[in-house]
């Protein structure tokens, strides 16, 4: 067998680790092409490298911990199959235990199922009216800030029996880490966000087509209708999904700006007027009537501090004369 020249040895050593610079890649290919027997040797080195990865696998990958995760996921999926299907047929019995914790915020308890059937799953929910913000802590230590017009619902077993949330609106989630019990956020129309422990901003209003997830840290997996494979979002990325068309995008983004609403700041980056108007409606509790729907697709950039009035914001957005507006009390006409 021919002796492999030293510089090729060192390139092969790099190649098996998978980080070959373009230049060396070319050199190696040339060398391999010169003689068919060399290819065989190269392939053998790659196989050895792979096989070597098997050694110590039992120490590096903890099957006990992983088995708990897998068993929990299988359990939770089996449990979820049933109530999910029955939920639509049964009616919700809302009982207002309504204790106002925060200004403009109500907490209520809901029963799932007919009152006479036992056992009953009890649900708690928090809704945030327009013009308000709300913060809450869930039993497992997860903290959520909810934007105006949002609703979060969880079961009384949250944190022990399950970590399932039903959510609509906009929220900033800091999910406590629990690898054995992943947290699953169910959004409208079958969108699911699955996390272990992480910080992210989630926006999914029922009156907007777009769903967006912006991840600050940790990792998030999204299951989307019309997409067979789950999408993994990484820190610093924004996943947007259009419920109507099914299209999605995954792009780097500024995570700080996505959470700016928590300080009552408004940030619009290439945002459609339609979304801007809905945001303003919720933020200031306005009713906005649009008389020229064709302008709704126009896009705008802008940032407003926490002290801006609706008047000032409309004046600035309409400065380029793409639309005009009239404000009467809480009602705005855009034309």
Rounded-to-integer distance, Cα 215 and Cα 140, Å: 20
Tell me if 307 sits within 8 A of 292, measured CB to CB: no
Number of C-beta neighbours around residue 239 at 10 A = 24
Scanning the chain, the segments in alpha helix (DSSP H) are 6-16, 22-33, 36-54, 57-60, 63-86, 255-258, 273-284, 310-317
Rounded-to-integer distance, Cα 28 and Cα 329, Å: 74
- Interface residue with other proteins among 58, 89, 244, 328 (CB under 8 A) is 58
Taking the least distance from each CB to other proteins, the nearer of 60 and 301 is: 60
Does position 69 bind other proteins by CB under 8 A? yes
Alpha-carbon distances, residue 217 vs 34, 138, 201, 276 (angstroms):
48, 20, 11, 27
Taking the least distance from each CB to other proteins, the nearer of 8 and 273 is: 8
Find all residues with CB under 8 Å of 257, minimum gap 6, and list them. 267, 269
Alpha-carbon distances, residue 294 vs 98, 112, 325, 335 (angstroms):
42, 43, 15, 10
- 5-24 positions binding other proteins, by CB under 8 A: 9-10, 12-22
Taking the least distance from each CB to other proteins, the nearer of 181 and 334 is: 181
Q: How far is the CB of 200 from other proteins (least distance, A)?
A: 17
Q: Which residues of 3-19 are buried (b: 16+ CB within 10 A; e: fewer)?
A: ebeeebeebbeebbeee
DSSP 3-state assignment of 288?
A: strand
- Interface residue with other proteins among 5, 35, 39, 94 (CB under 8 A) is 39
Does position 223 bind other proteins by CB under 8 A? no
Taking the least distance from each CB to other proteins, the nearer of 14 and 135 is: 14
Does position 28 bind other proteins by CB under 8 A? yes
Number of residues in contact with other proteins, rule: CB under 8 A?
A: 60
User: Which region among 28-36, 133-141, 162-170, 279-287 touches other proteins (by CB under 8 A)?
Assistant: 28-36
- Interface residue with other proteins among 5, 35, 63, 94 (CB under 8 A) is 63
Rounded-to-integer distance, Cα 308 and Cα 323, Å: 20
User: Which region among 26-34, 141-149, 166-174, 299-307 touches other proteins (by CB under 8 A)?
Assistant: 26-34
What would the two tokens of residue 175 be? 């999910």
Does position 335 bind other proteins by CB under 8 A? no
Q: Pseudo-torsion of CA 77, 78, 82, 85, nearest 10°? A: 40
Taking the least distance from each CB to other proteins, the nearer of 3 and 328 is: 3
- 76-95 positions binding other proteins, by CB under 8 A: 77
Does position 231 bind other proteins by CB under 8 A? yes
Q: Which residues bind other proteins (CB under 8 A)?
A: 9-10, 12-22, 25, 28-29, 32-33, 36, 39-40, 42-58, 60-61, 63, 66-67, 69-71, 73-74, 77, 219, 221, 229-232, 234, 237, 250-252
């Amino acid at each position: 067998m021919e002796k492999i020249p030293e510089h090729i040895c060192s390139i092969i050593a790099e190649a098996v680790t998978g980080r070959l610079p373009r230049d060396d890649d070319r050199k190696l290919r040339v060398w391999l092409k010169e003689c068919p027997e060399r290819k065989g040797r190269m392939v053998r080195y790659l196989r050895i490298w792979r096989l070597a990865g098997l050694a110590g696998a039992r120490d590096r990958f903890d099957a006990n911990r992983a088995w708990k995760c897998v068993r929990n996921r299988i359990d939770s999926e089996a449990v979820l199959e049933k109530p999910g299907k029955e939920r639509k047929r049964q009616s919700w019995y809302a009982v207002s235990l309504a204790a106002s914790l925060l200004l403009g915020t109500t907490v209520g308890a809901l029963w799932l199922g007919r009152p006479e059937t036992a056992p009953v799953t009890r649900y708690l929910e928090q809704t945030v009216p327009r013009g308000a913000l709300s913060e809450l802590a869930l039993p497992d230590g997860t903290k959520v800030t909810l934007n105006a017009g949002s609703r979060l619902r969880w079961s009384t077993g949250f944190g022990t029996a399950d970590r399932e949330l039903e959510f609509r609106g906009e929220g900033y989630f800091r999910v406590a880490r629990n690898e054995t019990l992943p947290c699953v956020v169910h959004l409208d129309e079958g969108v699911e966000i699955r996390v272990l422990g992480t910080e992210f901003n989630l926006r999914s209003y029922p009156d907007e087509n777009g769903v967006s997830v912006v991840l600050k840290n940790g990792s998030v997996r999204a299951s989307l209708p019309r997409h067979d494979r789950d999408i993994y979002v990484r820190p610093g990325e924004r996943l947007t999904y259009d419920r109507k068309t099914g299209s999605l995008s995954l792009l780097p983004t500024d995570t700080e700006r996505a959470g700016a609403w928590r300080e009552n700041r408004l940030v619009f980056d290439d945002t459609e007027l339609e979304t801007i108007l809905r945001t303003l409606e919720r933020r200031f509790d306005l009713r906005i009537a649009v008389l020229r729907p064709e302008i709704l697709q126009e896009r705008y950039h802008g940032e407003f501090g926490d002290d801006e009035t609706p008047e000032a914001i409309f004046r600035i957005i309409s400065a380029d004369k793409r639309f005009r507006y009239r404000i009467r009390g809480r009602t705005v006409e855009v034309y």
